A and B are shown apart, each in its own frame.
Chain A
Amino acid sequence: MAVVSSLESLLESRQVWRGRPAPRAPSSQPTGFPDLDDALPEGGWPETGLTELLLPADGVGELRLLWPTLARLSQADGMIALIAPPYLPYAPAWMNAGIRLQRLQIVRADPRDALWATEQCLRSAACSAVLCWPRQVDDRALRRLQVAAEAGQCLGFALRPIKAAANPSPAALRIAVDADPARLRILKCRGGNPPPQAIPFAADGCRPPSRQGGVVRAFPPSRVHKLYALRARTH
């Protein structure tokens, strides 16, 4: 007859070791968005490596997503390099987002040289973050960037069209940014399973987090109404 012993007594005799989930150390590279931080296995951006942001179009919130991180990094040593950005970074807005502009460097390059410049910047360890907009880039080139980011211990961000989501990528983290409804979908994250549900990323108005408190302020709706009312009267 088999001896039936209760689970409690077994556990109390301390012959069974029970693993306990260790509390996660706070990430050294928080994204500035608590919802996103919670969803990521490291609690923030991968500390070194390439992060891919997949965008349906330009101007859907990629800067809103990156500005808190860039503002934090710009307070430390190290440059933030923008390699061949598609538009001009509008200085007053970036400044209002809390970024120290003397840490910002824009590298103009044609698409052929942009990848080279990105790799140099990632590898140099002189940059704390490198943003690039690779056009027509293959798996090998992305792997080079990923290795360079690890060698230079640097945050690399590759902003690519959403079409690229169909292809595999060696990037440590891939986030698709949806515009309507505004949300973030994690497609791949190294060190954990990507969460099944999307993270809301509502556009709280058009403003970046304010310099004073880091609170994202919306356009006061009353003002919008007033402006409409004003125009209605002029008609």
Chain B
Amino acid sequence: MLWACILLPQLALDGVLRRHPDPAAPLALVTGPAQRRVLRAVNASAKAAGLRAGQSLGAAQALCSRFTAVAHDPAEDVRWHRFLAAWAYRYSSLVSHEMPSALLLEVEASFKLFGPWPRFEAQLREDLKSLGFRHRITLAPNPYAARALANQHDGLAILTDGPLHNALAQLPVERSGLPAEVASSLRRMGLSKLGQVVALPRVALGRRVGKDALAHLDRLTGSLPTPLRYYQPPDSFSSRIDLNYDVESSQALLFPLRRLTADLAAYLAGRDGGVERFTLVLEHERCADTEVVVGLLAPERDSAMLFELARGRLEQERVPAPVRGVQLLARELPPFVPAGRDLFDARPQQAVPWEQLRERLRARLGDESVQGLGVRADHRPERAWQAEHSRVAPPADLPRPGWLLPHPVPLRDHQLRILAGPERIETGWWDGDLRRDYYLLQTSQGQRAWAYRAAGDPPRLTSHHPASSAADGFMLHGWFS
């Protein structure tokens, strides 16, 4: 087995920065009690301004007047750590997030799928870069050694035990993962490299440094196998962004929304699932949260598509108060089957499949905006169609108009000509009785109308103007077009 260690030295800061609208502005992570605030981490531009981790907040404010101070939240660290474990789960089934700010992946089994280590590593780095996390990656035959090497190296890959022992021997004791007091006492003994420590007689060393440190050394060399606790992906997704300021326009929500949907898509890809329904919770200061439900007709997991749909729904939404936080919840994650596509099918640019187009239209125009058309076995024109497709035998080939008015209206025309009729439609005593004589008429404009009169009420026709007096009492119900 080969273990990759992804060390995340700035996990807390990166977690804050990736949600910040302007990551280039000076920013510092602050921790400690209210009386003694200390900078925990600073970003590049803050560092350029002279801020350092460990400074007190007062000193930092004296150095640089305008930097954003964000309180450090340990719960956030845990959440980001878990999120990255979910991301790593797509590359390996054995992922451990047991060690703080580090991920351990068993990668040898995944080489067949993701290529040899250099390519695999490049892929990991690319993903982490796009997710916005700084990292160091090392590879070693056992997880503890990989973790210890990541303290000193970046990009080091050791495949066998021989070179591993050499590399470990070169490791300074402070960076070997030994407890700080053990490392400093070893240093005082004149032992600076791990190789010198391991070379000492084991029993004497054990008496000096204690059992735990000895076990740690054994784990590094791989002679004491210790199982890790592995990550198990949860069955639902939830992510939250605190905005820290009042947002009043939907435009300003797009940035956090893009992050949230990208996170959701990364998570879904990891568990090879899709999402059919998710909720955006817009948190307000004083009133109840607004919930925007985004429903799809079929499971999807493409991040651009999820973003676009959520955006479409969000733009329609009216909120009672400024938004302070956004949360994305997805509880049901059904399996996802990607649509099969012809490999050599030449498609125009910007082509989207119908399913995606339908979701896009529904997101902006409303759930009921896209309808199919179907036939129902009924003689009444109002009930002979329905808004979804049905498998009914084709109706009898009667003269029926292509356009139907949703509600019949009186037909007003001074020059109607009867072309055919009447055809009586009389049915439906059980639910909405209907007795009508339908005529095919020609209007003065040359349109062909389908209009009806009450049954048994023939139009009055005189010999001189057969049409003019027939105009009364016709209800227009359709156009033969």
Give the docked Cα–Cα distance between A228 and B361 (Å): 50
In the complex, which residues of chain B have a beta carbon less than 8 angstroms from the beta carbon of A109?
Answer: 365, 369
| Size bracket of the B interface | 35 or more
Given A93-B402, A126-B353: A59 touches B373 (CB 8 Å cut-off):
no
A107 pairs with B370, CB closer than 8 A: yes
A125 within 8 A of B: yes
Which A residues lie within 8 Å of B65 (CB)? none
In the complex, which residue of chain A has the Cβ closest to the Cβ of B443? Answer: A57
The reply to whether B381 and A125 form a contact with Cβ atoms under 8 Å apart is no
Residues of chain B with a CB closer than 8 A to A102's CB: 372, 389
> Do B445 and A180 touch across chains, with their CB atoms under 8 A apart?
yes
Is A113 part of the contact surface with B, judged by Cβ < 8 Å?
Answer: yes
Chain A 115-156 per-residue mask, 1 if CB under 8 angstroms from chain B, else 0: 011001101111100000000000000000000000111000
Q: Say whether A182 faces chain B, with CB atoms less than 8 Å apart.
A: yes
Residue A19 at the chain B interface, CB threshold 8 Å: no
Tell me if B420 is interfacial: C-beta within 8 Å of chain A: yes
- Which residues of chain B are near A92, meaning CB under 8 Å? 375, 384-385, 394-395, 398, 400
- Are A91 and B373 in touch, CB under 8 angstroms? yes
* B180, CB-defined interface residue at 8 Å: no
B458 lies within 8 A of A234 (CB): yes
Provide the residues of chain A in CB contact with B147, threshold 8 Å: none
Residue of B nearest to A114 (CB): B365
Residue in chain A with minimal CB distance to B360: A120
Are B348's CB and A151's CB within 8 A? Answer: yes
Q: Complex formed: what's the CA distance from A105 to B389 in Å?
A: 10
Question: B449 in the interface, Cβ–Cβ < 8 Å?
Answer: yes
Bound CA span A210–B458, Å: 30
A219 touches B354 (CB 8 A): no
A88, CB-defined interface residue at 8 Å:
yes
B447 touches A89 (CB 8 A): no
Q: How far is the CB of A141 from chain B (nearest CB, A)?
A: 17
Inter-chain CA distance A126–B397, complex, in Å, is: 31
B400 touches A124 (CB 8 A): no
Contact partner of A179 (CB less than 8 A), chosen from B351, B395, B403, B445, is B445
Report Cα–Cα, A107/B445, bound state, in Å: 29
A227 at interface by CB-CB < 8 Å: yes
Least distance between B270 CB and chain A CB atoms (Å): 29
| A24 interfacial by beta-carbon distance below 8 Å | no
A90:B403 contact, CB within 8 angstroms: yes
Distance between Cα atoms of A61 and B361 in the complex (Å)? 29
Chain A contacts for B80, CB-based, 8 A: none
Q: How far is the CB of A88 from chain B (nearest CB, A)?
A: 4
Known: A105-B370, A151-B350. A227 touches B400 (CB 8 A): no
Q: Is B480 an interface residue (CB 8 A)?
A: yes
Closest CB-CB distance, A110 to chain B, in whole Å?
8
> Within 8 Å CB of A227, what residues of B?
420-422
Residues of the B chain whose Cβ atoms lie less than 8 Å from the Cβ of A88: 385, 403-406
Range of interface residues on A (Cβ < 8 Å): 35 or more
B348 x A125 contact (CB < 8 A):
yes
Q: Of the 9-residue stretches A7-15, A31-39, A168-176, A200-208, which lies at the interface with chain B?
A: A200-208
Interface residues of B in 76-98 (CB under 8 A from A): none
Assuming the contacts A57-B445, A60-B446, A125-B348, asked whether A87 and B403 have C-beta atoms less than 8 A apart, the reply is: yes
Give B355's nearest chain A residue, CB to CB: A126
Would B364 and A113 count as touching, CB distance under 8 A? yes
CA distance A116 to B480 in the complex (A): 29
A104 is an interface residue with CB less than 8 A from chain B: yes
Residues on the B chain within 8 Å of A96, using CB: 394-395, 397, 400
B349 at the interface (CB under 8 A from A): yes
For residue A179, which residues in chain B have a CB less than 8 angstroms away from its CB?
Answer: 445-447
B353 nearest CB neighbor, chain A only: A126
Q: Does A231 contact B (CB under 8 A)?
A: yes
A211 an interface residue at 8 Å Cβ cutoff?
Answer: yes
In the complex, what's the smallest C-beta–C-beta distance from A100 to chain B, in angstroms? 9
Contact with A along B343-361 (1 / 0, CB 8 A): 0000111111110111011
Interface centre among A93, A121, A210, A227 (most CB of B within 10 A): A93
Tell me whether A104 and B373 are in contact in the complex, defined as CB-CB below 8 angstroms, given that A125-B348, A125-B351 are known contacts: yes
Task: Check if A211 sits within 8 Å of B394, measured CB to CB.
Answer: yes
Contact with A along B439-465 (1 / 0, CB 8 A): 010000111110000000010000000
Find out whether the CB atom of B400 lies under 8 angstroms from the CB atom of A93: yes
Is B371 an interface position by the 8 A CB rule? yes
In the complex, the answer to whether B403 meets A101 with C-beta atoms within 8 Å is no
CB distance from B149 to the nearest CB of A (A): 51
- On whether the beta carbons of B395 and A95 are closer than 8 Å, the reply is yes
Greatest chain A CB density within 10 A among B369, B398, B405, B480 is at B480
User: If A59-B480, A231-B458 touch, does A126 touch B384 (CB 8 Å cutoff)?
Assistant: no
Are A105 and B371 in contact (CB-based, < 8 A)? yes
Contact status A120-B357, CB under 8 Å:
yes
Question: Interface digits, B241-278 against A, CB 8 Å rule (1 contact, 0 not)?
Answer: 00000000000000000000000000000000000000
Closest to A100 in B: B389
Q: In whole angstroms, how far apart are the Cα atoms of A231 and B398 in the complex?
A: 21
Pick from B365, B374, B446, B480: contact of A117, CB under 8 Å:
B365
User: How far, in whole Å, are A96 and B386 apart by their CA atoms in the complex?
Assistant: 16
- Tell whether, in the assembled complex, residue B403 and residue A106 are in contact, meaning their CB atoms are under 8 Å apart: no
B448 touches which of A59, A104, A120, A126 (Cβ 8 Å): A59
Which A residues touch B354, using CB under 8 A?
79, 124, 126-127
- Asked whether, in the complex, the Cβ of B385 is within 8 Å of the Cβ of A107, the reply is no
Min Cβ gap B456→A in Å is 9
Nearest A residue to B370 by beta-carbon distance?
A107
- Cα A130 to Cα B458 with chains together (Å): 41
Contact check, A91 vs B446: say whether CB atoms are below 8 A apart.
no
List of 6 A-B pairs having minimum Cβ-Cβ separation, nearest first = A59-B479, A179-B446, A180-B446, A91-B385, A87-B403, A125-B351
Q: List 11 A-B contacts (CB under 8 A).
A: A87-B403, A89-B402, A91-B384, A92-B384, A93-B400, A106-B370, A107-B365, A107-B369, A208-B402, A211-B397, A219-B399
